[in-house]
Structure 1
């Protein structure tokens, strides 16, 4: 029932926007008494919270910062907590500040397990009575896996994200959060000791985790890997009601040769073509082969598919592409980034006295996932653009001191860092 309500409410918002625009003919409909004001504007940059993502350690995040909006970082639980209930967020704060200083926002993922490395479980848990890590070969290297039988690890994991959300849920330096278990927190142990309930958390604990995450995060959208679809790893098959939770997806092998098979099946399992309306679709370019990395952004495409077409098909908002500067120019990376996420166009702008009306449409492939508002003369309309789906348009009425024919419309969002600006396209003349 809840899934129906979510989908219905989303569709209702879209239908409301469409019905509004259908009632407005070229003469402005109910706003015909307002004077049309010429307006010209272009989208010249990648839009905030969208595009190709480089790691925060990639030098191009600094030297080509005007071509990007997002940076990515893997982070360790053990860097934040070493003693029970003692959390030191200074490393997280420093990272966010560094990213924001470049006019960017962060996409981040905490992890326990990385091929060839020690487990990033807090030190105190490693000394907990009965806790026993598993050491196994993954990609030929000794890799350490956490012991999910340990109740203290389970408690810590929930407490960590509760505290994280309390601290960062409204932080404009943070764009998106990715969560998961297994290798790289990508929801699999494709090579190594895969024991559900031990080296990978039980379905029962995952169910608790998802429900708690839904409570913790009120504004920031969190995502899991599309590899959570198989019933081996997750409880979604047995507990389909969990699919009603508002979470996004990340596809960490985007554009590989057989993406249309397993990857697409996983995305369809999560009903991605409806889910994108409430949470972002993200991912990473495929590392299956060197060829994939070399050619994924080729203008002529790869494996018979064009990147921009796949972005539109899967409503992608962002994608990790840390190695792309090795193979593509930053101008091409910027161009590809501008095909992702939301994109707004103002189709009509009318003003009379202190009253204005703006007809705006989303010409992108996804919505914006934070509240954003059309403003004239510093006066915001009430309609949040996060409800404006691709292809939909809506009239926004604005009235108040500051509104005038000389005031240029702006799109305002409180979830931006200094230097960021949401642009829009406009080609409005004064002829009706």
Structure 2
């Protein structure tokens, strides 16, 4: 059944702090709600959780898909002298469409140099004389690294970022963009060809000035969709303008070694950055096949270094999403599945309506509701999606769509007191008893996964919706 908008609608919204007391529904007093850590749909909440490469092959729930894309498939031609370039977005559009068809958003990265893959630097730049460097690190024999400080390359990358933002910024099919482009795998490093030349390797790093040129372009090109960078930018003017991703998660994440991810975030003064910008990354690939054998994940040694505690790493970094492809494309035992989903629910936000105030309206007064809304997760909900309200009758049939409103979901921070969100609308309902008011967060992806609340009444009367309470309408 489609939910048509009301003919007359008036909305009001206020934000305040309130305390709740338990009282009968529709009495006009606050009614406490029951928390449920296993409410239906929490494992597949959008914009958070573990992420497979493309579509998963088993039945582990997920809401995002990861895609790598070579730059030369998207930037197909150009002339550095005139500063004109041509683009073909078919590969990116196909990825967005494929994920959206499954109700998912994408996270992606565009690269020029992926060890062991084909060269991904646009051919027109090579034809113009861009130096290309061979290397054998990471088992590579096919890819080549461009001169990362070449003027034509930097100019082309700036143009590409602008065009990319124009094409997808704010697109509901995109969850997050990783900055990519520079370095091995687009991970913003050239190790071991870096500033430490004591190992006999040359320094191929991009200068900070050139990095900042790319970041400045990302900042101006993406004003709605969040962009994440791999390396904590201690010396960058733009370090506070982006999220970050740790691609060796729970292996080189926690304090103890200066070059681990979180110590670098600490040195850069970015430990509170998660409050406004998302944190993501990739579970260290060597860990993925065994880490769910026990809880917490078993300590194993790779290259002489022990793995870290997954729960501690998530809570320390406030991570929202992590690539973990193995768990989506291999058979899992019941123990592995349970542990994986336990960790999945730890990532990102967890919204909970702790109390509701729902007075009985008359046929001539507006229907009003106040909710105390908490975030019991480790990170905010990073996009300001709308709340929508509907009314069911005693037979659980939708009889009224009351409309939507925005409540600043990113502002509901983990660990903070509940925020009171108030909604009222002209309802046009007939006098009667047993009406129910339901609420949901509207996923702008038309068939996107619903946002589930950690409430006992989540999905109680309608899938994907939270029942707030019952009320009567009097004359």
- State the TM-score bracket (shorter-chain normalisation): 0.7 to 0.9
The reply to whether residue 343 of structure 1 matches residue 350 of structure 2 is: yes
Alpha carbons 2:112, 2:119 under 8 Å: kept: yes
Tell me by how many angstroms 1:355 deviates. Answer: 1.2
CA contact 2:387–2:442 (8 Å) conserved in 1: no
Aligned partners of 1:278, 1:160: CA distance in 2, in Å? 26
Name the CA shift for 1:80/1:335 in 2 (closer, same or farther; >3 Å).
same
Superposition deviation, residue 37 in structure 1: 6.4
Q: TM-score, normalised by structure 2?
A: 0.74
TM-fit CA distance, 1:257: 6.7
Secondary structure of 1:273 counterpart: coil
* Cα distance in 1, alignment partners of residues 130 and 263 from structure 2: 37
Q: Is the 8 A contact 2:388 2:405 kept in 1?
A: yes
The reply to whether residue 255 of structure 1 matches residue 250 of structure 2 is yes
Matching residue of 2:317: 314
1:186 aligns with 2:193: no
Cα distance, 1:124–1:198 mapped onto 2, change above 3 Å: farther
8 A contact 1:372–1:386 mirrored in 2: no
- Aligned partner of 1:214 in structure 2 is 219
TM-score normalised by L of structure 1: 0.81
Deviation at 1:199, TM superposition (A): 4.0
**What residue is the counterpart of 2:441 in the other structure?**
412
- Tell whether 2:223 aligns with 1:223: no
**Which of 403, 425, 445 is 1:400 aligned to?**
425
The one-character-per-residue Cα deviations of 1:42-77 (angstroms, maximum 9, x if unpaired) are 343321011011101x5xx1542x611111111111
Unaligned runs of 5+ in 2: 1-13, 79-84, 300-306, 362-366, 391-401, 458-467, 471-475
Describe the shift of the 1:78–1:394 C-alpha distance in structure 2 as closer, same or farther (beyond 3 A): same
Q: Is the 8 A contact 1:179 1:224 kept in 2?
A: yes
Tell me the SS of whatever aligns to 2:158: helix
CA distance in 2, matches of 1:277, 1:403: 40
- Counterparts of 1:124 and 1:77, CA distance in 2: 12
Tell me if structure 2 keeps the 8 A contact 1:48–1:416. no
Contact 2:31/2:357 (CA < 8 Å) preserved in 1?
A: yes
How far 1:413 moved relative to its partner?
A: 3.2
Structure-2 change in CA distance of 1:300 and 1:322 (3 Å): same
* 1:298 is the counterpart of 2:286: no
Q: Judging changes above 3 Å, is the alpha-carbon distance between structure 1 residues 381 and 117 closer, same or farther for their aligned structure 2 residues?
A: closer
Give the match for residue 11 of structure 1. none
Aligned to 1:89: 89
After TM superposition, give the deviation of residue 302 of structure 1 in Å: 3.2
Specify the SS of the correspondent of 2:41.
Answer: coil
Cα displacement string for residues 203-262 of structure 1 (whole angstroms, at most 9, x for unaligned residues): 211112112211111111101113x45xxxxxx42x4x4323x20010011111774322
Checking the alignment, whether the CA contact within 8 Å between 2:21 and 2:31 is kept in structure 1 is: no
Alignment of 1:11-160 (within 5 A): 20-21=16-17, 23-26=18-21, 34-36=28-30, 42-46=39-43, 47-56=45-54, 61-64=56-59, 67-84=61-78, 85-128=85-128, 130-142=129-141, 143-160=143-160
| 2:390 corresponds to 1:366 | no
Is the 8 Å Cα contact of residues 48 and 69 (structure 1) preserved in structure 2?
yes
The DSSP-based 3-state class of the residue aligned with 1:333 is helix
Alignment CA distance shift 1:391-1:381 (3 Å)? farther
CA contact (8 A) 2:281 2:322 kept: yes
Structure 1 residue 86: deviation in Å? 1.3
Give a deviation string over 1:111-133, Cα, whole Å, max 9, x none. Answer: 111113343111111111x3221
8 A contact 1:222–1:247 mirrored in 2: yes
Q: Is the 8 A contact 1:45 1:67 kept in 2?
A: no
Per-residue CA deviations over 1:357-384 (Å, capped at 9, x if unaligned) read 1111001110111112333334334421
Q: Cα gap change, 1:314/1:380 in structure 2, threshold over 3 Å: closer, same or farther? A: same
Match of 1:5 in 2: none
2:263 maps to what in 1? 265
- State the alpha-carbon separation in 1 of the partners of residues 117 and 58 from structure 2: 30
| CA pair 208-282 structure 1, distance change in 2 beyond 3 A | same
Contact 2:72 2:123 in 1 (8 A): yes
Partner Cα separation in structure 2 for residue 424 and residue 25 of structure 1:
18
When residues 274 and 300 of structure 1 are mapped into structure 2, their CA distance, relative to the original with a 3 A threshold, is: closer
TM-superposed CA distance for 1:294, in Å, is: 1.9
Task: Provide the aligned C-alpha RMSD in A.
Answer: 3.2
**Ranges of 4+ aligned residues in structure 1 off by more than 6 Å:** 37-41, 193-198, 428-431
Larger Rg: 2
Structure-2 separation of matches of 1:365 and 1:339: 7
Contact 1:358 1:396 in 2 (8 A): yes
Q: Any conservation in 2 of the 1:252–1:284 contact (CA below 8 Å)?
A: yes
Shift of 1:349: 1.5
Size of the aligned set, in residue pairs, is 394
Tell me if structure 2 keeps the 8 A contact 1:363–1:391: yes
